[in-house]
Amino acid sequence: MKKPTICITSLTCCEGCQIAILDLGERFLGLAGKIKIGDFAFLEERPESETFDIAFVEGAPITEKNKERLLDLRKRSKVLVALGACACLGGIAEIKDYQDKNERVRYVYKNIESIENPDIIPLRDLVKVDLEIPGCPINKEEFLDIVKKLIMVVSQGLLMEQMPKPAQRPVCYDCQLKRNVCLLQEGLLCLGPMMLGGCGAPCPSSGYPCDGCRGPLKNVNPDNLNRQLIKQGYSQQEIDMILQRFGVLEEIYPMPPSAT
Ligand code: SF4
Ligand code: SF4
Ligand code: SF4
Protein backbone atom coordinates (compact mmCIF):
# COMPACT_ATOMS: atom_id res chain seq x y z
CA MET A 1 0.00 0.00 0.00
CA LYS A 2 1.42 3.41 -1.02
CA LYS A 3 2.28 5.75 1.88
CA PRO A 4 0.53 9.12 1.43
CA THR A 5 2.76 12.21 1.51
CA ILE A 6 1.47 14.65 4.13
CA CYS A 7 2.00 18.37 4.61
CA ILE A 8 1.06 20.21 7.81
CA THR A 9 1.50 23.95 7.48
CA SER A 10 0.37 27.37 8.78
CA LEU A 11 -0.92 30.61 7.35
CA THR A 12 -1.62 33.54 9.73
CA CYS A 13 -2.59 32.22 13.17
CA CYS A 14 -1.30 31.30 16.62
CA GLU A 15 -0.24 27.81 15.42
CA GLY A 16 -2.18 26.28 18.31
CA CYS A 17 -3.73 23.61 16.08
CA GLN A 18 -0.27 22.29 15.17
CA ILE A 19 0.57 22.29 18.89
CA ALA A 20 -2.56 20.15 19.45
CA ILE A 21 -1.19 17.69 16.85
CA LEU A 22 2.21 17.59 18.55
CA ASP A 23 0.40 17.03 21.82
CA LEU A 24 -0.61 13.61 20.46
CA GLY A 25 3.04 12.70 21.08
CA GLU A 26 3.82 9.06 20.44
CA ARG A 27 0.38 8.45 18.97
CA PHE A 28 1.18 10.88 16.14
CA LEU A 29 4.63 9.37 15.71
CA GLY A 30 2.87 5.99 15.55
CA LEU A 31 1.45 7.13 12.20
CA ALA A 32 4.97 7.58 10.88
CA GLY A 33 5.05 4.07 9.42
CA LYS A 34 1.90 4.79 7.42
CA ILE A 35 2.76 8.24 6.02
CA LYS A 36 5.61 10.16 4.46
CA ILE A 37 6.08 13.64 5.95
CA GLY A 38 6.42 16.02 2.99
CA ASP A 39 6.39 19.17 5.11
CA PHE A 40 5.88 19.72 8.83
CA ALA A 41 8.21 22.54 9.80
CA PHE A 42 7.29 22.18 13.50
CA LEU A 43 8.74 18.67 13.50
CA GLU A 44 11.70 19.06 11.15
CA GLU A 45 13.21 21.68 8.85
CA ARG A 46 13.87 20.23 5.39
CA PRO A 47 12.96 21.02 1.80
CA GLU A 48 9.31 20.18 1.21
CA SER A 49 8.05 17.60 -1.28
CA GLU A 50 6.92 18.77 -4.71
CA THR A 51 3.43 17.31 -4.33
CA PHE A 52 1.30 16.13 -1.43
CA ASP A 53 -1.46 13.56 -1.11
CA ILE A 54 -2.93 15.42 1.88
CA ALA A 55 -2.20 19.03 2.93
CA PHE A 56 -3.43 20.17 6.35
CA VAL A 57 -3.57 23.96 6.51
CA GLU A 58 -4.17 25.96 9.69
CA GLY A 59 -4.60 29.74 9.85
CA ALA A 60 -6.38 32.30 7.69
CA PRO A 61 -5.07 33.54 4.32
CA ILE A 62 -4.55 37.16 5.39
CA THR A 63 -1.38 38.44 3.67
CA GLU A 64 -0.66 38.26 -0.06
CA LYS A 65 2.10 35.76 0.76
CA ASN A 66 -0.46 33.58 2.61
CA LYS A 67 -2.79 33.68 -0.40
CA GLU A 68 0.00 32.72 -2.82
CA ARG A 69 1.03 29.86 -0.51
CA LEU A 70 -2.54 28.57 -0.29
CA LEU A 71 -3.11 28.69 -4.06
CA ASP A 72 0.22 26.94 -4.60
CA LEU A 73 -0.59 24.25 -2.00
CA ARG A 74 -3.95 23.64 -3.64
CA LYS A 75 -2.26 23.04 -7.01
CA ARG A 76 0.24 20.64 -5.44
CA SER A 77 -2.14 18.66 -3.17
CA LYS A 78 -4.69 15.96 -3.97
CA VAL A 79 -6.64 16.59 -0.77
CA LEU A 80 -6.64 19.89 1.13
CA VAL A 81 -7.91 19.97 4.73
CA ALA A 82 -8.66 23.17 6.68
CA LEU A 83 -7.50 22.85 10.29
CA GLY A 84 -9.18 24.85 13.04
CA ALA A 85 -11.41 27.89 13.37
CA CYS A 86 -9.01 30.29 11.59
CA ALA A 87 -8.95 28.12 8.46
CA CYS A 88 -12.61 27.01 8.60
CA LEU A 89 -14.30 30.25 9.71
CA GLY A 90 -11.76 33.10 9.64
CA GLY A 91 -11.30 32.71 13.39
CA ILE A 92 -10.51 35.28 16.03
CA ALA A 93 -8.87 37.70 13.55
CA GLU A 94 -12.28 38.13 11.90
CA ILE A 95 -13.52 40.16 14.89
CA LYS A 96 -12.05 43.29 13.25
CA ASP A 97 -14.24 42.82 10.16
CA TYR A 98 -17.36 43.40 12.25
CA GLN A 99 -16.03 46.77 13.46
CA ASP A 100 -14.01 49.64 11.98
CA LYS A 101 -11.11 47.45 10.89
CA ASN A 102 -8.71 50.34 10.15
CA GLU A 103 -9.25 51.69 13.67
CA ARG A 104 -8.65 48.20 15.14
CA VAL A 105 -5.35 47.90 13.27
CA ARG A 106 -4.23 51.25 14.73
CA TYR A 107 -4.50 49.69 18.21
CA VAL A 108 -1.71 47.34 17.25
CA TYR A 109 0.47 49.23 14.72
CA LYS A 110 1.46 52.92 14.94
CA ASN A 111 2.12 53.17 11.23
CA ILE A 112 -0.50 51.31 9.22
CA GLU A 113 0.74 52.46 5.78
CA SER A 114 2.45 49.15 4.94
CA ILE A 115 0.03 46.90 6.84
CA GLU A 116 -2.14 44.58 4.76
CA ASN A 117 -5.64 44.79 6.24
CA PRO A 118 -7.97 42.78 4.03
CA ASP A 119 -11.26 41.16 5.08
CA ILE A 120 -10.59 37.90 6.90
CA ILE A 121 -11.81 34.89 4.96
CA PRO A 122 -11.81 31.13 5.51
CA LEU A 123 -9.77 28.93 3.15
CA ARG A 124 -12.86 27.81 1.23
CA ASP A 125 -13.40 31.40 -0.03
CA LEU A 126 -10.12 31.17 -1.94
CA VAL A 127 -9.63 27.50 -2.86
CA LYS A 128 -11.52 24.20 -2.93
CA VAL A 129 -11.38 22.65 0.54
CA ASP A 130 -12.03 18.90 0.72
CA LEU A 131 -12.55 18.65 4.45
CA GLU A 132 -12.77 20.96 7.48
CA ILE A 133 -11.62 19.96 10.96
CA PRO A 134 -13.16 22.58 13.26
CA GLY A 135 -12.25 23.96 16.68
CA CYS A 136 -9.99 26.47 18.39
CA PRO A 137 -7.83 24.55 18.75
CA ILE A 138 -8.79 21.35 16.92
CA ASN A 139 -9.67 18.33 19.02
CA LYS A 140 -6.56 16.15 18.75
CA GLU A 141 -8.54 12.88 19.07
CA GLU A 142 -10.82 13.93 16.23
CA PHE A 143 -7.76 14.88 14.16
CA LEU A 144 -6.16 11.48 14.73
CA ASP A 145 -9.35 9.66 13.80
CA ILE A 146 -9.77 11.72 10.60
CA VAL A 147 -6.12 11.28 9.59
CA LYS A 148 -6.45 7.50 9.89
CA LYS A 149 -9.58 7.55 7.70
CA LEU A 150 -7.92 9.90 5.18
CA ILE A 151 -4.86 7.66 4.93
CA MET A 152 -7.17 4.76 4.11
CA VAL A 153 -9.10 6.81 1.51
CA VAL A 154 -5.96 8.12 -0.20
CA SER A 155 -3.87 4.95 -0.11
CA GLN A 156 -6.75 2.81 -1.44
CA GLY A 157 -7.45 5.32 -4.20
CA LEU A 158 -11.02 5.95 -2.96
CA LEU A 159 -12.94 9.16 -3.67
CA MET A 160 -13.27 11.84 -0.99
CA GLU A 161 -17.05 11.35 -1.21
CA GLN A 162 -16.43 7.92 0.35
CA MET A 163 -14.81 9.52 3.41
CA PRO A 164 -17.11 9.10 6.47
CA LYS A 165 -18.66 12.49 7.36
CA PRO A 166 -18.68 13.85 10.93
CA ALA A 167 -22.18 13.72 12.50
CA GLN A 168 -24.16 16.99 12.46
CA ARG A 169 -24.98 17.01 16.18
CA PRO A 170 -25.07 20.06 18.47
CA VAL A 171 -22.68 20.61 21.37
CA CYS A 172 -25.71 19.93 23.61
CA TYR A 173 -25.51 16.26 22.55
CA ASP A 174 -21.95 16.00 23.93
CA CYS A 175 -23.02 17.97 26.98
CA GLN A 176 -25.88 15.61 27.75
CA LEU A 177 -23.57 12.59 27.44
CA LYS A 178 -21.44 14.20 30.17
CA ARG A 179 -24.60 14.72 32.27
CA ASN A 180 -23.72 18.42 32.65
CA VAL A 181 -26.05 20.89 34.27
CA CYS A 182 -27.37 23.04 31.37
CA LEU A 183 -25.86 26.54 31.61
CA LEU A 184 -28.52 27.94 29.25
CA GLN A 185 -31.23 26.78 31.62
CA GLU A 186 -29.22 28.40 34.43
CA GLY A 187 -29.53 31.72 32.54
CA LEU A 188 -26.09 31.87 30.82
CA LEU A 189 -25.58 32.82 27.17
CA CYS A 190 -24.63 29.40 25.77
CA LEU A 191 -24.62 28.88 22.00
CA GLY A 192 -24.32 25.08 22.22
CA PRO A 193 -27.73 24.30 20.63
CA MET A 194 -26.69 25.73 17.25
CA MET A 195 -23.00 24.79 17.25
CA LEU A 196 -21.37 21.69 15.80
CA GLY A 197 -20.59 19.17 18.52
CA GLY A 198 -17.93 16.50 18.54
CA CYS A 199 -15.63 18.41 20.88
CA GLY A 200 -16.93 16.61 23.97
CA ALA A 201 -18.29 19.92 25.34
CA PRO A 202 -15.16 20.85 27.32
CA CYS A 203 -16.37 24.42 27.94
CA PRO A 204 -19.79 23.69 29.52
CA SER A 205 -18.16 20.79 31.37
CA SER A 206 -15.91 23.38 33.05
CA GLY A 207 -18.75 25.83 33.72
CA TYR A 208 -18.16 28.06 30.65
CA PRO A 209 -20.86 28.58 28.02
CA CYS A 210 -20.12 27.39 24.47
CA ASP A 211 -18.89 30.26 22.23
CA GLY A 212 -19.10 28.14 19.09
CA CYS A 213 -15.44 27.71 18.16
CA ARG A 214 -16.44 24.72 15.96
CA GLY A 215 -18.84 26.83 13.92
CA PRO A 216 -22.56 26.41 13.34
CA LEU A 217 -24.44 23.25 12.41
CA LYS A 218 -25.29 23.03 8.70
CA ASN A 219 -28.40 25.04 7.73
CA VAL A 220 -28.95 26.10 11.33
CA ASN A 221 -31.85 28.43 12.07
CA PRO A 222 -30.74 30.74 14.90
CA ASP A 223 -34.24 32.17 15.52
CA ASN A 224 -35.35 29.80 18.30
CA LEU A 225 -32.18 30.23 20.36
CA ASN A 226 -32.18 34.02 19.77
CA ARG A 227 -35.80 34.20 20.97
CA GLN A 228 -34.99 32.18 24.09
CA LEU A 229 -31.90 34.27 24.92
CA ILE A 230 -33.76 37.55 24.37
CA LYS A 231 -36.54 36.25 26.67
CA GLN A 232 -33.78 35.56 29.24
CA GLY A 233 -32.76 39.24 29.06
CA TYR A 234 -29.87 39.25 26.53
CA SER A 235 -29.84 41.73 23.66
CA GLN A 236 -29.27 40.72 20.04
CA GLN A 237 -26.06 42.79 20.19
CA GLU A 238 -24.75 40.66 23.08
CA ILE A 239 -25.57 37.46 21.19
CA ASP A 240 -23.93 38.77 17.99
CA MET A 241 -20.77 39.75 19.88
CA ILE A 242 -20.30 36.13 20.94
CA LEU A 243 -21.01 35.00 17.38
CA GLN A 244 -18.26 37.35 16.18
CA ARG A 245 -15.65 35.70 18.40
CA PHE A 246 -14.64 32.95 15.96
CA GLY A 247 -16.15 34.35 12.76
CA VAL A 248 -19.45 32.47 13.18
CA LEU A 249 -21.69 35.54 12.70
CA GLU A 250 -20.81 35.77 9.01
CA GLU A 251 -21.47 32.05 8.54
CA ILE A 252 -25.03 32.54 9.80
CA TYR A 253 -25.72 36.01 8.39
CA PRO A 254 -23.35 36.56 5.37
CA MET A 255 -22.06 40.16 5.15
CA PRO A 256 -20.96 42.13 2.08
CA PRO A 257 -17.14 42.61 1.96
CA SER A 258 -16.07 45.90 3.58
CA ALA A 259 -13.77 48.49 2.02
CA THR A 260 -10.05 48.03 2.86
S1 SF4 B 1 -7.95 27.84 15.34
FE2 SF4 B 1 -7.37 28.66 17.34
S3 SF4 B 1 -5.70 27.35 18.03
FE4 SF4 B 1 -5.96 26.97 15.83
S5 SF4 B 1 -4.50 28.36 14.86
FE6 SF4 B 1 -6.47 29.44 14.96
S7 SF4 B 1 -6.38 30.64 16.88
FE8 SF4 B 1 -4.77 29.09 16.97
S1 SF4 C 1 -24.86 24.01 28.67
FE2 SF4 C 1 -24.98 24.76 26.56
S3 SF4 C 1 -24.18 23.09 25.35
FE4 SF4 C 1 -24.68 22.23 27.34
S5 SF4 C 1 -26.78 21.48 27.09
FE6 SF4 C 1 -26.94 23.55 27.89
S7 SF4 C 1 -27.15 24.83 26.06
FE8 SF4 C 1 -26.38 22.86 25.38
S1 SF4 D 1 -17.95 23.67 23.81
FE2 SF4 D 1 -18.22 25.18 22.19
S3 SF4 D 1 -16.55 26.66 22.47
FE4 SF4 D 1 -16.06 24.81 23.68
S5 SF4 D 1 -14.78 23.53 22.34
FE6 SF4 D 1 -16.92 22.88 22.01
S7 SF4 D 1 -17.66 24.14 20.29
FE8 SF4 D 1 -15.79 25.10 21.06
Q: Are residues 177 and 156 in the same domain?
A: no
257 found inside a domain: no
Write down the pLDDT at residue 41.
81
Q: Which atom of ligand 1 is nearest to the CA of 137?
A: 3
Tell me, using a 6 A CB cutoff, whether residue 198 lines ligand 2. no
Q: Are residues 137 and 28 in the same domain?
A: yes
- The last residue of one of the domains, among 106, 141, 162, is 162
- The last residue of one of the domains, among 118, 138, 162, is 162
pLDDT tens digits along 163-219: 888 889 999 999 999 999 999 999 999 999 999 999 999 999 999 999 999 999 999
Q: How many whole angstroms separate alpha carbon 184 and alpha carbon 189?
A: 6
Tell me, using a 6 A CB cutoff, whether residue 214 lines ligand 3. yes
Q: Are residues 24 and 106 in the same domain?
A: yes
260 found inside a domain: no
Using alpha carbons, list the distances in angstroms from residue 123 to 20, 58, 128, 130.
20, 9, 8, 11
Q: Are residues 126 and 214 in the same domain?
A: no
124 found inside a domain: yes
Distance of CA 13 from the midpoint of ligand 3 (Å): 18
Q: H helices within the chain, ranges in order?
A: 16-22, 26-29, 64-76, 84-89, 101-108, 140-155, 171-177, 202-205, 223-231, 236-244, 248-252
Write down the pLDDT at residue 192.
98
Residue 51 has pLDDT above 80, yes or no: yes
Residue 259 has pLDDT above 50, yes or no: no
Q: Are residues 47 and 137 in the same domain?
A: yes
220 found inside a domain: yes
Looking at all shown ligands, the one closest to residue 87's CA atom is: 1
Range of the domain at 44: 5-162
Q: Are residues 153 and 207 in the same domain?
A: no
259 found inside a domain: no
Tell me, using a 6 A CB cutoff, whether residue 202 lines ligand 3. yes
b or e along 89-123 (b: 16 or more beta carbons within 10 Å of the residue's beta carbon)?
A: bbbbbbbbbbeebeeeeeeeeeeeeeeeebbbbbb
Using a cut of 0.75, tell me whether the model's pTM lies above it: yes
Q: Which atom of ligand 2 is nearest to the CA of 192?
A: 3
Tell me, using a 6 A CB cutoff, whether residue 175 lines ligand 2. yes
Residue 258 has pLDDT above 60, yes or no: no
Confidence of residue 260 (pLDDT cuts 50, 70, 90): very low
Q: Are residues 134 and 193 in the same domain?
A: no
Q: Are residues 143 and 189 in the same domain?
A: no
Q: Are residues 136 and 239 in the same domain?
A: no
Residue 158 has pLDDT above 60, yes or no: yes
Q: Which atom of ligand 1 is nearest to the CA of 15?
A: 5
Query: For residue 124, which of 165, 150, 88, 160 has the smallest C-alpha distance?
Result: 88
Q: Are residues 149 and 176 in the same domain?
A: no
230 found inside a domain: yes
> How many domains, in total, are found in the chain?
2
Distance of CA 44 from the midpoint of ligand 3 (Å): 31
Looking at all shown ligands, the one closest to residue 211's CA atom is: 3
Looking at all shown ligands, the one closest to residue 197's CA atom is: 3
